[in-house]
Each structure stands twice: as C-alpha cells, then as structure tokens.
Amino acid sequence: MNFNFATYMKTCAEKLKAIGHTEETPKFFRISSLAQLDELLSMISDIGYPAMLIHDNMDGAIGDRSTSNNYLDVPNYTFYVVEHVSLNDHDAKQQAILNCKNIGLKIIAKMLHDKLDLNQGLTFLQFDNIPYQTIGPIGDNCHGMMFTISVPNQAQITYNADDWTT
C-alpha cells in the first residue's frame, strides 16, 4: 500500500481534536510554495487556528543504498502547523510555537502508531530523523512549526529498450 500524504494529513486535521478541521471551519490547506503559504495566511483572516497546511510540491531522492538493485523512491513530505499571534506579543509567540510543535508531535505519534500497525502505507516511515523548524512571522503574524517526513517506496526503475531509438 502506497502512502497518500494529502489524504492522510486531511484525516489527521479532521480527527485531531486540537485542529478539528471541518468544511464549516476550515483548518486544513494545501499549498505549493512558501509564498503561497504567506499569501494564504495574509488573505484569510477568518480561518480557525491552529491550522495545518501541507506542501504539495514533490521532492525527494532515488537511490539504492545497499547496492542490491532494490531501488527506492524516497519522497520528502512537509507539513506546517501554525497559529495566529497578536503583534509584538513575544510570550504568545513562544507559546504558539510550543503548541504547534506539540500538535505536530501528536501527528507524528499517530504516524508511528500506524507504522507499527502496518496501516495507511506508513510501513517504511523513516523515523530515524524527522526534522522540524520554527516558522514565522508569516501571513498575518502567524507562527508555528514545519515538519518533514519521508516514507520510501519501491522505485519503478526499469530499462525498456523499446523506449529508445537506436
């Protein structure tokens, strides 16, 4: 089973009580760049916080670390958890960052749970290194945390002579 990042994260946003995404109170968004993240958080002032955003752009690596000809596609998936903070309220900013980190860790805990249950395509979730980084101010003075995960899968690398002219 392949991991479907967008579906998985939307389900997390809906089921995690701390976020509680619904169609009436949107708190889950898909973006394709940091500029779009900034624009979205600037333009939408009535979204509920904390909000979860996922990065739709694809990046990763193709490799064969063990030289076994079992090629891997190692995609990187990025998600953000953000909260709105009043301007120049440094204590609120630090609290928002901590809240966002805790929410992100709850999502990662669910991923680990699903990995152990061989569920949702997370069997190969790489847990040896999940980087996170503080973000903000972005948009209308939002601050939060960015997390990056990787869920390798078999790469479909096959040489076919019919694909080439001689």
| 166 belongs to a structural domain | no
| 162 belongs to a structural domain | no
pLDDT in tens, the chain (166 residues): 678 999 999 999 999 999 999 998 889 999 887 777 777 777 666 667 899 999 887 776 777 766 666 777 777 899 999 999 988 999 999 999 999 999 999 999 999 999 988 877 888 888 888 999 999 898 888 999 999 998 877 677 777 888 888 8
Cα–Cα dist 56/50, whole Å: 20
Count helices and strands (H / E) in the chain.
3, 7
For the entire predicted model, the pTM comes to 0.85
What CATH number should be reported for the domain holding residue 27? 3.30.2000
Count of domains for the chain = 1
Q: Which domain holds residue 104?
A: 5-154
Runs of H (alpha helix) within 16-152: 34-43, 90-116
Whether omega for the bond prior to residue 131 falls within 30 degrees of 0, making it cis, is no
Cα–Cα dist 87/76, whole Å: 33
| 19 belongs to a structural domain | yes
